[in-house]
Structure 1
Amino acid sequence: MTQPTDSLFPGKAFISTVLEALETKTRMTGSLAHRYLMRAGMAGMIVAVFYVVNYAIVGVFDSISAGGDSLASVGKLLGALAFGPALVFIYYTRSELLTSNMMVVVIGGYYHRISVWRGLRVLGLCFLGNFLGGLIFALLYRFSTLVEGPTGEQALHSVETKLAYVSSASGLVDLFVRAILCNFMINLAMLLIYNGYIKEDWSKIFSMIIAVFVFAFLGLEHSVANTVLFTVVGLTHGVDVAAAAGNVGIALLGNFVGGGLLIGAYYAYVNDDSRWLRRTADQHGQDD
């Protein structure tokens, strides 16, 4: 029988699933920290692969002309679609991605399932693992020609655009907003997956691809993807380390607002039935 609170707090299944995932992450970052780092490293590797695929596609279409105009816009569209499955691979390999963990940790903090220190440990180890995974593939790219030619040109252009944000106050605000929207989309997809309403794998896959497509096509800012990109380009072409660190720092803050607060904190609060149950119990007690 349907419980009376189901219609009032329809996200209870979502919260329960997230808290179960948090318990696993908390335990792993304690006694199995090195394995957690490996799972986070795999996410960084996956991002590194799909990012290069994205720029390769954009580079190919940018060099093609039709009616005197470049097909760069077509390449941007197809490249964003090709980058979309990155989140699918991360999810189904059970890898650990920092930006989705922001939502998980905030929900856990709201329900007092994790302390601030342990939450920071989960996020910190995840970010380190994501970086190390990207670094491994960046080293592999360094000794290949995969990030040269049109692919390298597009990657360099993207880096220049991202670093330009930190050169002015308005650019920093733009970067911050783009980071908020980016992780809002990523965690919106994870919300659809965790809430129990979507059962079929293909529906989950579609949700994740669309969410990543939106962020890639609009040029939104993802802290982990940016870290991987700066690492790859830095080892192959060089990068302004200070500006790159500034970009990642602002992107981290924006991602936390978008995924941790706008999704995590919001859904934790709207699905918290504890006060409602206490008030209902008090009313029943007065009636008796």
Structure 2
Amino acid sequence: MSYIKPADFVQTMIDAGEAKTKTSTADLILRGTMAGIILSLAVVVAITAIVQTGIGLVGALVFPVGFCILSLMGYDLVTGAFGLAPLAKLDNRAGVTWSSIFRCWGLIGLGNLIGSLIVAYLATVSLTMNFSIDPNAVAQKFIAVSTARTVGFENLGMDGWITCFVRAILCNLMVCLGVIGGMTSRTVAGKVVAMWFPIFIFFALVFEHTVVNMFLFPLGMILGADFGIATWLNFNLIPTILGNIVGGLVFTAIPLYLTHKKNSAAVNAKVETQATNESFTEAALNAK
């Protein structure tokens, strides 16, 4: 069967979390950079589709292609690490500490930022013909979206900050389900389908994603959007990071771990007890 049962893919989640905390610095940064590049290009595709069709759902339908590609290539988003890496600590894996988890988050996040900034600059060159013409319709859409989700939140004060934080929680609930979805099948087609739907949901509902926002807002500023780095950090990126941690860890990874890891352990113990009893019975019969 191509479908992998929850008790089995939860074990894969824990193993993946442990592996991320023990990956070399160079590999974490490289994988994070490539993930940032691919996801940023997917954002450009999605916004272009929205501008061309005037239908937001079309952009949401095509955006998951980037997530699927980077996942199949084994690249890393910090949002996925928010959910998976702490599971190794929760499972008492040897050598996994909170220090190693924070290191993992920081290095992947750094790579994601590097990749996002690279594409932000290159996309600006493409959209403005190397800064020789005014921003086209797609570029104007980027300016409008980035302004609405920074200055718009700032104008609401704490209400805007909380709104961004809540949208980030809901976002990474879905994104981590997408990451885990890739572990639920043994076939590429099955993995893609399982990843596609949750990512579609987060983009369609305009939730806040750390890596997407590492690209979207620098791009908006390069194109001429009227907000600065402080506004982006205080009213978007910081609440987004915090919300993504809560959504991925508290609402997605831990519930799966608590129910399926526990039940898996109970089933395994029952099987081992039964096997032991059968061995004793067989030994007794042989003795007779």
After TM superposition, the structure 1 stretch with the greater mean CA deviation from structure 2, 95-104 or 145-154, is 145-154
Distance apart, 1:51 and its partner CA? 0.9
Aligned CA distance change for structure 1 residues 264 and 146 (closer, same or farther; 3 Å)? farther
Q: Out of 249, 252, 275, which is 1:263 matched to?
A: 252
**Given the alignment of the two structures, is residue 143 of structure 1 paired with residue 125 of structure 2, yes or no?**
yes
Distance 1:245 1:236 in 2: 18
Q: Paired residue for 2:83?
A: 103
Moved over 6 A (4+): none
Q: Paired residue for 2:14?
A: 19
Distance apart, 1:129 and its partner CA? 0.3
Root-mean-square deviation over aligned CA pairs: 2.5
Q: Secondary structure at the match of 1:143?
A: helix
Q: What is the 5 A alignment of 1:100-249?
A: 100-113=80-93, 114-145=96-127, 148-163=135-150, 164-167=152-155, 168-194=157-183, 196=184, 198-238=185-225, 239-246=227-234, 247-249=236-238
**TM-score with structure 1 length normalisation?**
0.81
Maintained 8 Å contact 2:167/2:207: yes
After TM superposition, the structure 1 stretch with the greater mean CA deviation from structure 2, 114-123 or 235-244, is 235-244
Q: Paired residue for 1:44?
A: 36
Identity of aligned residues (%): 25
Aligned CA distance change for structure 1 residues 112 and 149 (closer, same or farther; 3 Å)? same
Q: Which amino acid aligns with 1:186?
A: V
Q: Secondary structure at the match of 2:166?
A: helix
Larger radius of gyration: 2
Q: Which amino acid aligns with 2:105?
A: L
Q: Paired residue for 1:67?
A: none
Q: Paired residue for 1:82?
A: 62
Q: Secondary structure at the match of 1:219?
A: coil
Distance apart, 1:166 and its partner CA? 3.5
Q: What is the 5 A alignment of 1:55-74?
A: 55-61=47-53, 72=54, 74=55
Q: Paired residue for 2:46?
A: 54
Distance 1:87 1:204 in 2: 11
Distance 2:83 2:114 in 1: 22
Maintained 8 Å contact 2:87/2:253: yes
Distance 1:99 1:166 in 2: 24
Maintained 8 Å contact 2:142/2:219: no
Q: Which amino acid aligns with 2:103?
A: R
Distance 1:175 1:23 in 2: 30
Distance 1:146 1:224 in 2: 23
Gaps of 5+ in 2: 130-134, 275-288
Q: Secondary structure at the match of 1:199?
A: coil
Q: Deviations over 1:63-100 (max 9, x none)?
A: xxxxxxxxx2x2x1111111121110110111110111
Maintained 8 Å contact 1:15/1:107: no
Distance apart, 1:199 and its partner CA? 3.0
Q: Which amino acid aligns with 2:60?
A: A
Q: Deviations over 1:38-70 (max 9, x none)?
A: 111001001111111111122223xxxxxxxxx
Gaps of 5+ in 1: 1-9, 62-71
Q: Deviations over 1:252-277 (max 9, x none)?
A: 11111111111112222223439968
Maintained 8 Å contact 2:22/2:100: no
Q: Which amino acid aligns with 1:14?
A: F
Maintained 8 Å contact 1:60/1:150: no
